[in-house]
Chain A
Amino acid sequence: MLRGETEFWRTVNEYNGEFNGLQNGTDEVTPGTVPNRREFLAWMGNSFALSGILYGLSGCTSAPPEKIVPYVRPPEDVVPGKPQYFATAMPFSGYGIGLIAQSNLGRPIKIDGNPYHPASLGASDAIAQSSVLGLYDPDRAQAIASSGIISTWHSFAAALSMELIAARADSGAGVRILTETVTSPTLAWQLNRFLNQYPQARWISYEPFGGDNERGGTRLAFGTELDTQFRFENANVILALDSDFLSDGPAHIRHSKDFSSRRRIAARSDSMSRLYAAESVMTITGAMADHRFPVSSMEIDGIARAIAARCGVQGIPLPDSTRWPWLDLVVADLQREARHSLVIAGPQQPPAVHALVHAINDRLGSIGNTVIFTDPVAAHLGNQLESLKLLTDEMDSGRVDTLIILSGNPVYTAPADFEFSRHLDKVPFKARLGLYSDETSARCQWHIPESHFLESWGDVRAYDGTASIIQPLINPLFEGKSAIELMSVLLGETPQAGYDILRDYWGQHFNDFESSWQQSVRDGIVIGSAAPLRSVRIRKDFHVPDAPVQAASDPASLELVFRSDPCIFDGRFANNGWLQELPKPLTKLTWDNAALISPEKANQLNCANGDVVEIHNGERAIRAPVWILPGHALNSMTVSLGYGRTHAGQTGNGHGFNTYAIRKSNAIWVVPSARIRKTGDRMSLACTQTHQNMEGRDNVRVMTLADYIHNPDSEGHAETGEETGSLYPRFPETKYAWGMSIDLASCMGCNACVAACQAENNIPVVGKEEVERGREMHWIRIDTYFQGSPQNPGSYFQPVPCMHCEDAPCEVVCPVGATTHSSEGLNEMTYNRCVGTRYCSNNCPYKVRRFNFLEYSNFDSARLKLVANPEVTVRSRGVMEKCTYCVQRINRARIVAEEQDRSLRDGEIVTACQAACPADAIVFGNIHDEKSRVSVLKSQPRNYSLLPELNTRPRTTYLARLTNPNPEIARGR
């Protein structure tokens, strides 16, 4: 199909009708290595002869001998060959996400959400999915080091005791403990006891993406620090002001669960929520919005004031709002839904905006219904940035003589103007507990390897205060210590294991200790530990500080917005290959960050993708490649933090640029005016947006809710079972016929499924160069389509796994029968038969097959072998692979069912992608069972299959994306 005939597009180039293939110099064949005809024949002959010899040799040897090593004394409940499941929780920037970890013979290999846990409800995200790889990371710090020399825990404890004896004299006036956000009840208990012992000591907590603004907002609005929770399931109209609530913050999985529950329409009578988003950079929340308004971050303040004034918030004068013509209609919509409306502001907005938003919600009546408040869950209150500033000042003036850093990487993440590392050098005794020997450890004389959350006992609270016991799955791989074990030494206690410390603490809080403990550990939550709700009242003297003065618009200056990276967060996951290679939502960049700008701004600056610019924030500057993101606000540039690491490890070092170098404390989130200068250099970036191209066909279907209700068949078609004129015989009726339904109305492109698939199916990481050649191995990809003008396009996500076509084009072209069809409709891939002709991939219209061009799987590193799922073959070079519908899970469930002499129940088989999905977009099951969930979904009118004209009869089908636009707002995209 010619470009231009289609409404949808994938890149700005494509929109402009230009070439959309792989980038220059990143051809599948390495340039300069193309042989001429004679060389080609010579190589062919040689390799043919060699393969004959090798095949002969390998066929003439028996398999290498193997040992079986049984236990000496078997542990209780371990049945070799059967996985075990344990509840645990992952601390993520301080807050807990409840998880169920799968352990095979003592190795945790797969993570899923804990259905009992309020922050998870059974779903997870890409970071949780990838945490198992982080556990086995060979680059983790492996020994206690004193000034870089391997030391012992005893020597450290002795050195620390000496310091503390000295500190006792002045009540610990020189002792400082720096943590990340702490919600762990046990750790907070220990820290507070320590502060009682040393009254002059101080505890500072700092997160580069902390909640200072949100807490400041509640202080302005209600006069006290509170945590805000949102009930998206109750909201009919939502306005997100620069808020990416679907991927930011400790409750984002819960937000996705609740939000998507109001976006999936089963019956036509179901109501659907409407989302408005005003934001600078396109986020997945903006992509899900029914109306998205690209505005710069600095404008949000004015928008919030204009809405507040219209809603009648006291003391807010009606500002000029002609710049936002949509505002009145949005406010009318919010007021129409009154208590079922919700306004939410992002963490990068200043406290004033948060306070305004609270006041708006109060006027709308939604407080108590869609917005609720609790006391802060974090154990340590106060402004994190200010307390870090105080600490650096104290370090500078030499008032700090002992600094204990528990996790966190302040040398890398602290605002640049604090010059944290320079001041740190003035502290005589510095000890750092950390997973990696990173930038901070390099500046501390003591480094203590931290135990991963999967290998140590601990506890953590979720966003709503619900406490979880963190249950380890494995003994510490590198004799790491947890924060509570280190604190126990600081407290001068006889060294205790984390388990005992934890039981000591919880022993004071459980009435019937042993049974409460057992239940809490088993369930993964402590029942009744959620923070009680607080009823709030806007303070009588409600007043918000005046809006910051808008900087004069200088054509070479842009607003600069700092965001956490969607994959590696603040940089702490930089050494995780799964996360590095995960295409970031919307940009589809891997392995790098970039400076995101709008297509129009790129024209003005005369920049193309990959052009390096210098970004000046005052006297500090960095060089960054530009990436054009459709829908970005015009006078704004977004840079993500977390890259440019120097001490991350062999995977994370040297990728991207370090944005922290220009992040200053006076503008920690948004720099009003940063100067941009094009350098003329170029940098190659690995972007997967144009890979596995389905040649411009309209594969995503979108309809409005109104259209769906009145004319349901306009985009989809229910499976009618009609013969469509295929030459192949119909697929036989079998008891089970596996199929999948993917709901595009709730999919928000968050990547959880991609990471879950990678973990479940032993999918290798290929590295940046190979991604540039289009060789990434993910079995499920998330296609992103844009629609309309690049200034503010509609954007749609479509996860594409193998379609498991009933008449699969790949099968008929395989010369060796390596890809075949099972009687239940699985398109099987038999690796040991595959000889790597790649005909199947050429013939696949959906481009879902992946080829191991090189030996991507790691067969050498003993520790990385531990993460492999023993139920799935690890593929070697020269083998094709693709989505199997998690056939290992089908087989496991079938064996269980057959041993119990029963049929498989609907919902008994859950694929890895389905289990992870926080939007419940993916449903797998038996399509020959009319009552199964997947059959019911496939009978909806908005069901459709990809490229139906090819008659491949895919088993994976889609439910068309629904949007719920406000009919009064013209489609001004």
Chain B
Amino acid sequence: MSQIFGRRMNFISRFTIFGAVFVIVAVAIAAGQIVRSPWLTEAHVVRVQPVPFSHKHHVGDIGIDCRYCHTSVEDSSFAGIPPTKTCMNCHSQVYSDSPALEPVRQSFRNNVPLEWVRVNNLPDYVYFDHSIHLNKGVACVTCHGQVDQMPLVWRENTLTMEWCLDCHRDPARFIRPRGEIFALHWQPAEPQRNLGSRLMKAYAIRSSEELTNCSTCHR
């Protein structure tokens, strides 16, 4: 009686066994990449807004400070989205009949708020506070990117827990002097590591162990 499996089966079975390992590893890597990809994290995805508001123009060209619109960023967990009134402070005078701004004027006339599409969004079980981050020398640009170069804004970073922890485990890499947190093009005059370590002490930033307690963000 002849063999059921020919000689070639040796190769095929070896290929299948080792190939399976390869496939499993590849799937795992692919899954890891997918969850970090913009498809899921929505990083770098440009959002279409009801009014094509350009940070590039208002911040980059005109040089309006972040806090002119995001008024509560230094005092509150929420940075604040400007009320229609803030837009109308200028736009009752300039571009007062631009068709692109009609939704703004309409909102002001009818007392109906504009509905902006949220760009930076965290899950409901995460409690982020802007004021304390600013107070400890984390700049706007560190998380939100160069908004002065964004005609329509996008999410600069993934906002995954991995990304948050990356800083909470070693904040010295990102800490700036408090005076420079609203600057968009600031560069440290000394190596960031030295500056960061010094500022960590000066600003009494808690240890990475404390900063990575679950209850720092989750409650």
Give residues in A with beta carbon < 8 Å to B.
59-63, 65-74, 79-82, 734, 820, 822-824, 826, 828, 830-833, 871-874, 884, 887-888, 891, 895, 898-899, 901
Contacts and interface: CB of A to CB of B under 8 A. Distances in A.
A884 B127 CA distance: 15
A734 B136 CA distance: 20
Contact of B84 (A61, A66, A72, A820): A72
Given A72-B107, A72-B112, A901-B204, A81 B77 contact: yes
Given A73-B84, A828-B218, A895-B129, 7 more contacts: A60-B40, A69-B113, A70-B80, A71-B113, A81-B76, A823-B209, A884-B215
A859 to B, nearest CB: 11
| A-B complex: 8 closest residue pairs judged by Cβ atoms | A81-B78, A81-B76, A71-B83, A822-B213, A81-B77, A66-B118, A70-B81, A72-B84
A292 to B, nearest CB: 42
Given A63-B121, A65-B118, A871-B219, A898 B83 contact: no
Contacts of A884: 215, 219
Contact of A873 (B40, B84, B125): B125
B116 interface: yes
Interface in B111-137: 111-118, 121, 123-125, 127, 129, 131-132, 135-136
B105 to A, nearest CB: 11
A368 B51 CA distance: 72
Nearest to B39: A62
Nearest to A874: B124
From A63, A69, A734, name the one whose CB has the most chain B CB atoms within 10 angstroms. A63
B127 A888 contact: yes
A7 to B, nearest CB: 39
Given A79-B75, A823-B213, A871 B81 contact: no
A891 B127 contact: yes
B63 interface: no
A62 B42 contact: yes
A283 B105 CA distance: 64
A829 to B, nearest CB: 8
B168 to A, nearest CB: 13
Contacts of B121: 63, 66
A72 B83 contact: yes
Contact of A60 (B34, B111, B219): B34
Contact of A822 (B84, B115, B127, B214): B214
A901 B216 CA distance: 19
8 contacts: A70-B82, A72-B83, A72-B108, A79-B75, A820-B214, A891-B219, A898-B136, A899-B132
Interface in B89-122: 107-108, 111-118, 121
A80 B71 CA distance: 10
Given A823-B209, A823-B213, A830 B218 contact: yes
B213 A82 contact: no
A902 B42 CA distance: 39
B75 A82 contact: yes
Contacts of B54: none
A833 B219 CA distance: 12
B166 interface: no
A79 B121 CA distance: 19
A572 B115 CA distance: 41
Interface in B8-24: none
B118 A68 contact: yes
B85 A73 contact: yes
A823 B83 CA distance: 40
A68 B215 contact: no
A822 B215 contact: yes
B41 interface: yes
A889 to B, nearest CB: 10
Interface string B125-157: 101010110011000000000000000000000
A556 B127 CA distance: 62
Given A65-B117, A67-B118, A899-B131, A891 B111 contact: no
B178 to A, nearest CB: 11
Main secondary structure of the interface of B (DSSP, over half): loop
Given A68-B81, A81-B78, A828 B118 contact: no
A873 B115 contact: no
Contact of A891 (B40, B83, B85, B215): B215
Main secondary structure of the interface of A (DSSP, over half): loop
B215 A80 contact: no
B210 interface: yes
Contacts of A72: 83-85, 107-108, 111-113
A80 B76 CA distance: 7
B76 A79 contact: yes
Contacts of A81: 72, 76-78
A875 to B, nearest CB: 9
B125 A831 contact: yes
Contacts of B28: none
Contact of B113 (A60, A63, A70, A831): A70
Contact of A823 (B34, B115, B123, B210): B210
Given A62-B42, A901-B204, A82 B218 contact: no
Contacts of B80: 70, 79-80
A71 B72 CA distance: 14
Contacts of B107: 72
Interface string B193-219: 000000000001001011001111011
A784 to B, nearest CB: 30
A62 B40 contact: yes
Contacts of A831: 125, 218
Contacts of B124: 873-874
B214 to A, nearest CB: 4
Contact of A871 (B34, B82, B108, B127): B127
A874 B124 CA distance: 9
A59 B84 contact: no
B135 A899 contact: yes
Interface string B21-43: 00000000000001100011110
Contacts of B210: 734, 822-824
A238 B38 CA distance: 72
Contacts of B40: 60-62
A68 B80 CA distance: 10
B219 A888 contact: yes
A912 to B, nearest CB: 13
A73 B115 contact: no
Given A80-B80, A828-B218, A872-B219, A70 B114 contact: yes
Contacts of A65: 117-118
From B77, B82, B108, B207, name the one whose CB has the most chain A CB atoms within 10 angstroms. B77
B131 A895 contact: yes
Given A62-B41, A828-B218, A873-B125, A69 B115 contact: yes
B133 to A, nearest CB: 10
B203 to A, nearest CB: 8
A824 B34 CA distance: 36
Nearest to B108: A72
A507 to B, nearest CB: 32
A734 B114 CA distance: 47
A629 to B, nearest CB: 39
A466 B157 CA distance: 57
B135 to A, nearest CB: 5
A661 to B, nearest CB: 47
Contacts of B77: 81-82
Contacts of B84: 70-73
From B84, B204, B213, name the one whose CB has the most chain A CB atoms within 10 angstroms. B213
Contact of A832 (B41, B112, B125, B136): B125
B64 to A, nearest CB: 17
Contact of A63 (B117, B123, B204): B123
From B35, B107, B125, B214, name the one whose CB has the most chain A CB atoms within 10 angstroms. B214
Contacts of B214: 820, 822, 828, 830, 833
Nearest to A886: B219
Nearest to B159: A63
Given A68-B81, A68-B118, A59 B215 contact: no
